[in-house]
Amino acid sequence: MIREGSITNEGESVAHLEVTVDDPDWNVRSVTADLSSLSLGTVVLNDVGLDGDTSIHDETYTVSIEYPGTLDGDIIIEIEVADDWASIGESHSITILNRLPQISALTFTPITVNRGDTTNVVLTANDGSGVTAVGIDTTQWGGNVTWLTQLDGNWVGEIFVPESIPSGDQVLPVRLEDGAGGSGSTSKFGTGEDLTALHILNEGPVISNVTFYDNGEVVSTLPIPLTGVNEYILTAKVTDFDTISIVQAKLGAIAPPGQSNNWISMRDDGLGADAEAGDGIWSVTVEVRPGVSGGITQFEIRGIDQQLAQTPLNERSHEIELGNSEGGSGGGQAVLKTASNTWLIISLIGVIILVSLVGLAFWIRGGGLKLMMLPTEDPWK
């Protein structure tokens, strides 16, 4: 009977009542429907392509219906068909659906938030049978339904922003209940437009648990070798509500040669320095070489997520102490001591050479060289 299957009350939509007539004489004069139960009186259906009729003379008679009342459920209507010789009437049932309360206004304060924040909601809704409950639904993001409180004709409350909600503009569904027992959820204003969106900021990855390992043991100081290179593994826990694309470290004094100011990729794939793939702990090998200054050295770690948000600048910096091979701080002094001994030896050799040259000069000036050049007397004469 109803082309769309049902009619929604309170003028929510226009539906089409259709009646198919089987008349072998092809002399139907009228088809009417008594809609007095809906306070719409008697309406005339047509089969000439008007008022929603889709095909001319196909024996399906049509009329469009918009019901502004508040009744819902199965409603009995009377259909009457008349031709040149007789008329017949039948009773039929149509379904009236209860329209959801209509939202006319929705505001968030603040409208721009981080995940885990709270925001205040003010919502205005109306319904022919009265609005009895309104809730903001965040269950699809791991949250819950926050039921609002009626105040001065509006519905107000404070909602928690789930930590797993995606960043960007998000329309939060609203659950509504009316005085006729109807309930449902919507993400539209009564005009059909999308509800006001809450803007979720995209925060960059968070760096934590920065740790150095020496052969599997946690260390708080990296000894400076007298010769060769000491290698250690640097790890960091990196978390983000979005997928992490890359994690990098700018290692400074503990970087491989020529890369102190470069961003070096860390790994979480179980290869190289990384112990376990996909555990959120990113790893990279660092190097300590002879000659670096002892004491505290700083380095940076940053993460970048799939939406290109980066770890904030003020959260990237970390530090580690560089100490000497005997375990004390200031390993640079040990290297300096070795270098000083070498220079001392070189200096002593230089002094000896200098003294020798001075002595040689005095010997020549004293005639030593001239005496050496004189002929030697024959002892047999």
Q: Is 119 a member of any domain?
A: yes
pLDDT tens, position by position, 255-288: 999 999 999 999 999 999 999 999 999 999 999 9
Residues of the chain above pLDDT 70, percent: 87
Parallel, antiparallel, or unpaired for β 7-8 and 87-97? parallel
Look up the pTM and report it. 0.61
Q: Is 28 a member of any domain?
A: yes
Taking every pair of Cα atoms in the chain, the longest distance, rounded to a whole number of angstroms, is 184
CATH value at residue 282: 2.60.40.1930
pLDDT for the residue numbered 365: 66
pLDDT for the residue numbered 73: 87
Q: Is 51 a member of any domain?
A: yes
Are residues 229 and 325 both part of a single domain? Answer: yes
Q: Is 310 a member of any domain?
A: yes
Q: Is 89 a member of any domain?
A: yes
Alpha carbon 62 to its chain's center: 52
Confidence of residue 379 (pLDDT cuts 50, 70, 90): very low
Residue range(s) defining the domain that contains residue 290: 206-332
Residue 162 sits at φ, ψ, to 5 deg, of: -60, 145
The DSSP code sequence of 113-131 is E-TT-EEEEEEEEE-TT-E
Q: Is 219 a member of any domain?
A: yes
Of 80, 97, 114, the residue that ends a domain is 97
At 294 the three-state DSSP class reads coil
Are residues 86 and 140 both part of a single domain? Answer: no
Q: Is 379 a member of any domain?
A: no
pLDDT tens, position by position, 303-321: 999 889 999 999 999 999 9
Assigned token pair, 68: 């502004």
pLDDT for the residue numbered 241: 85
CATH value at residue 135: 2.60.40.10
pLDDT surpassing 60 at residue 34: yes
User: In the block, which residue shows the tokens 């994690």?
Assistant: 247
pLDDT surpassing 50 at residue 340: no
pLDDT for the residue numbered 362: 63
68-93: average pLDDT: 91
pLDDT for the residue numbered 207: 96
| Per-chain mean pLDDT for the chain | 87
At 374 the three-state DSSP class reads coil
Radius of gyration of the chain (CA): 45
Parallel, antiparallel, or unpaired for β 221-224 and 317-324? parallel
Residue 55, strand partner residues: none
Report whether 318 contacts 300 (CB < 8 A).
yes
Of 177, 200, 223, the residue that ends a domain is 200
Report whether 196 contacts 106 (CB < 8 A).
yes
Assigned token pair, 103: 């939202």
Q: Is 378 a member of any domain?
A: no
Task: State whether the Cα torsion 304-307-310-311 is positive or negative.
Answer: negative
Residue 363, strand partner residues: none
